[in-house]
Structure 1
Amino acid sequence: MNTQPPKPGPIHVAQLDLDGPDGEVLSFGPALGAGPAITGGDVYTLVRIGGRPVATVVSRVPPGKSPADAVAADARARLARTGTPDPGGVRAVPPRTSVVVATRERADQLARALDSLLAQDHPDFEIVVVDNAPVTSATEDLVGNKYAARGVRYVREAVPGLAIAHNRGVAVAAGEIVAFTDDDVVADPNWLTALTAPFAADPGLGCTTGLILPAQLGTPAQILLESHGGFAKGFTPRTYDPADPPADEPLFPFTAGSFGSGANMAFRASVIRAVGGFDPATGTGTPARGGDDLYAFVSVLAAGHRLRYSPDALVWHHHRETWKDLTNQAYGYGAGLTAYLTATLVRRPALLPALLRRLPGGLARARAITASRDSGGAAVPGAHGAQDYPWPRHLSRLERRGMLAGPIGYVKARRKVRGVRLPWNTEST
């Protein structure tokens, strides 16, 4: 039986900048400013107004039609229907920041990410590469030969696991703020400023997250992942305050996946250290498979700090390309979700009553998110959160199987990391 979905053709990824919601085109082209010109076909476009991200649209450019004109027409129509999100907040001078990139044996991708980080417009930042359980010297050689002279710091963490690598980054960070991204992203030049400036404006802020969009939609697996929701959380800024729980989030704060993702997050350094950092038994590279970022978000909120989502803080993520990658990712999403919940209860048992009250609603939400859906043809990305995307039954089963395995994976991971101490104090896991 073939469990793969219908195979859509490649979709171009582009950026369009308008001078207003119904304005003229300021610029149009490939999302990352490189690659072949867009001449027609299906196009997934980030729409900006005066440089600020406000929406995405999916367009089909007819033969002989100007791609810029066709996409602009769709963008204006979209903004006329939905309006333009209020940017919100007051821009302040961002504090000194350390950017941590954990990596393992992906030197080529890391180089692309570091080039984009070195081009940031943030006034005061450093970059720390944490090489997690390396088996070759490729990452160390890359940083030493190409980036050390430009101020990039290299740190080796011998114990495998993304959360452990992130904790090592927190330990050595010199900045007041610690930002995290992955080695498979390209950061927008304004990313770090937009992600960290809110800390200067709000002393009670403990964490920020930002917008993640696809860098490529060239394979069926990439397109299907983005159709399923990808990593995008919309274009409206939002602040989550534990003292004033959002009325439209009845499962708050346990719907941590709605706050953001680990490829685009930042913490006040004093806060992430005070809450114990990332749980070493969660995350990629452990039997738990994920959940390290979700655990950290809930920990910060549980400690009374606010969390802000800022869509102006944009990174472009290179989704995995193959069907095997997607199946592994589906299983890992499910496992990471329940592993993080298990970690929260093990390490923060005071949250148990709140979690039990929300458990029925959480189970219903999990069933809805992981439900299989008829593709009805090719997958089309763009309508994030609408829950009308195609999602094959095979991937639905894998997600749910992962959810069942997550707590067991967490217990196994706890045994593996027993005795691992936080790098900034003597507390063990």
Structure 2
Amino acid sequence: MSRAARTQEEIRRFLAIGAVQVAELDLNGAEATLRPGPGSPPVTHGEVFVLVRRAGVPVGTFLGRVPEGADPRTVLAGPAREVLAGDAGPAGPVTSPPSASVVSPPSASVVVATRERAGQLARALDSLLAQDHPRFDIVVVDNAPVTDATKELVHRKYGERVRYVREPVPGLAVAHNTGLAEAGGEVIAFTDDDVIADPRWLTELTAPFTADPRLGCTTGLILPARLRTPAQVLLESHGGFAKGFTPTTYDPANPPRDEPLFPFTAGRFGSGANMAFRTDVLRAVGGFDPATGAGTPARGGDDLYGFVRVLAHGHRLHYTPRALVWHHHRETWADLETQAHGYGAGLTAYLTAILVNRPALLPAFLARLPRGLAHARALTAVRETEGDGAAPGGAPGDHGSRTHPWPRRLSRLQRRGMLYGPVGYLRARRAVRDAARRGRR
């Protein structure tokens, strides 16, 4: 079969993927409370992606099916209790700071970078203003806007509750650095305009900084807000953005034995839609590289760059599944193509940025290069359904079996992105330099 024919077959199989409902089921003793996911209708019959909570705390997910005419809560409570009994989650170097319920969180600034997505931004801001954190402010950075829609939304609907800042230079890292300059909190948290934050998100994300003075960064859990389109279901079927339900602390003074590429596999630590830094630490390492991130030729990698820079300066990084945001995944095949290429480019762009800005890391990088190449091949391998020789993992909420193969075209695009990433970074770096020269004239 020709490559074009294979791609057409992949798209046909892709379009046949059905929607999955999203819900959360909270178990508190004998009680079970079922709620639809944020923005979702009440649960009916069919497949359901379920977040399981124990007295409000996220502990795991599973993919369930509700027969027609059955009571969803009764059907889903059984497998939810099995998840609770197992407390599922990947093993790792675990060091769990005390819960935010017993630790006073530090003051915080929340930065949301956005560009021409006022409708999504309003949804995100509503969830941020509902946070239970005692001391925080919100900064919206309008990145290279072409209209006044975002400015008008913030001023009209949110007034003094949200600060509006315009950043004319395009690029997510530039926008985040602008937010960093505006931040007044002890901790600066970043999220995206396409998320809905759990009410305890900010408290849980920032409380670990109080418990651990060596902590420089935290990341949190990202789950799908909706699984309505084939693209959303496929992405979540292969892991999405979730990093599991085991709290994990990464310490450069005690590298994890099961992470031979540490700290260069920064994608394992978390994602930019759910991250926070001790503000003075992020400023001390120089913030984010402005030649990385969406909106630049580098296409991405700004968050990964920040993680590695903080670790390279001797600070710890902590992942906590208690800090939850619901993410609106991209919706179309074209979106997935763009995303696959962008992720590949961002990965190698951030590695290039790290080595350009911190050449002292080059020997450590070269020592890990052979394993890194093997990791890259595995990362972009065609991932078939279980039973076709694939490793376990993949169904939304149940990473023990794959229900949808990962298209070869998306793997090829990710590999192409990896090859392009260093070139994209150098182009972005030159563009930043040229913009700085024009600004001095």
Q: How does 1:170-249 map to 2 (within 5 A)?
A: 170-249=180-259
What does residue 88 of structure 1 align with?
96
Alpha-carbon distance in structure 2 between the residues aligned to 1:96 and 1:89: 18
2:352 is equivalent to residue 337 of structure 1: no
2:55 is equivalent to residue 29 of structure 1: no
Alpha-carbon distance in structure 2 between the residues aligned to 1:39 and 1:234: 27
Alpha-carbon distance in structure 2 between the residues aligned to 1:387 and 1:338: 28
Structure 1 residue 419, shift from structure 2 partner: 5.8
Letter in 2 for 1:69: T
Q: How does 1:112-123 map to 2 (within 5 A)?
A: 112-123=123-134
What does residue 365 of structure 1 align with?
375
Alpha-carbon distance in structure 1 between the residues aligned to 2:294 and 2:118: 18
Q: CA 1:170–1:419 in 2, change beyond 3 Å: closer, same or farther?
A: farther
| 1:96-143 residue CA offsets vs partner (Å, 9 max, x unmatched) | 100000000000000000000000000000000000000000000000
Q: CA 1:409–1:243 in 2, change beyond 3 Å: closer, same or farther?
A: same
Q: Match for 1:13 among 13, 22, 25?
A: 22
| 1:378-411 residue CA offsets vs partner (Å, 9 max, x unmatched) | x732245988962111111011110000001001
Maintained 8 Å contact 1:234/1:384: no
Structure 1 residue 88, shift from structure 2 partner: 3.0
Task: Provide the secondary structure at the position in 2 that maps to 1:354.
Answer: helix
| 1:5-43 residue CA offsets vs partner (Å, 9 max, x unmatched) | 3422110000000025xx431x102111x4421111000
Maintained 8 Å contact 2:50/2:397: no
Q: How does 1:306-385 map to 2 (within 5 A)?
A: 306-375=316-385, 380-384=395-399
Q: Match for 2:304 among 283, 291, 294?
A: 294
Q: CA 1:402–1:384 in 2, change beyond 3 Å: closer, same or farther?
A: farther
Task: Provide the secondary structure at the position in 1 that maps to 2:382.
Answer: coil
Task: Provide the secondary structure at the position in 2 that maps to 1:48.
Answer: strand
Letter in 2 for 1:13: V
Structure 1 residue 232, shift from structure 2 partner: 0.3
| 5+ long unaligned stretches in structure 1 | 422-427
Instruction: Using structure 2 for the length normalisation, give the TM-score.
Output: 0.91
Alpha-carbon distance in structure 2 between the residues aligned to 1:347 and 1:213: 33
| 1:263-289 residue CA offsets vs partner (Å, 9 max, x unmatched) | 000001111111011000100001110
What does residue 390 of structure 2 align with?
none
Structure 1 residue 338, shift from structure 2 partner: 0.4
Alpha-carbon distance in structure 1 between the residues aligned to 2:385 and 2:89: 30
Q: Match for 2:74 among 59, 69, 88?
A: 69
Structure 1 residue 153, shift from structure 2 partner: 0.1
Q: How does 1:77-156 map to 2 (within 5 A)?
A: 77-81=82-86, 88-90=96-98, 91=100, 92-149=103-160, 151-156=161-166
Maintained 8 Å contact 1:98/1:125: yes
| 1:341-370 residue CA offsets vs partner (Å, 9 max, x unmatched) | 000000011001111111111111111121
Structure 1 residue 84, shift from structure 2 partner: 8.2
2:47 is equivalent to residue 42 of structure 1: yes
What does residue 425 of structure 2 align with?
410
Structure 1 stretch 388-397 or stretch 325-334: which is displaced more?
388-397
Task: Provide the secondary structure at the position in 1 that maps to 2:433.
Answer: coil
Structure 1 residue 78, shift from structure 2 partner: 3.1
Task: Provide the secondary structure at the position in 1 that maps to 2:109.
Answer: strand
What does residue 398 of structure 1 align with?
413
RMSD: 2.1
Alpha-carbon distance in structure 1 between the residues aligned to 2:200 and 2:107: 15
Task: Provide the secondary structure at the position in 2 that maps to 1:418.
Answer: helix
**What count of residue pairs does the alignment treat as equivalent?**
417
Q: CA 1:384–1:360 in 2, change beyond 3 Å: closer, same or farther?
A: farther
Task: Provide the secondary structure at the position in 1 that maps to 2:152.
Answer: helix
Letter in 2 for 1:286: T
Task: Provide the secondary structure at the position in 2 that maps to 1:78.
Answer: helix
| 5+ long unaligned stretches in structure 2 | 388-393
Identity of aligned residues (%): 68
What does residue 65 of structure 2 align with?
60
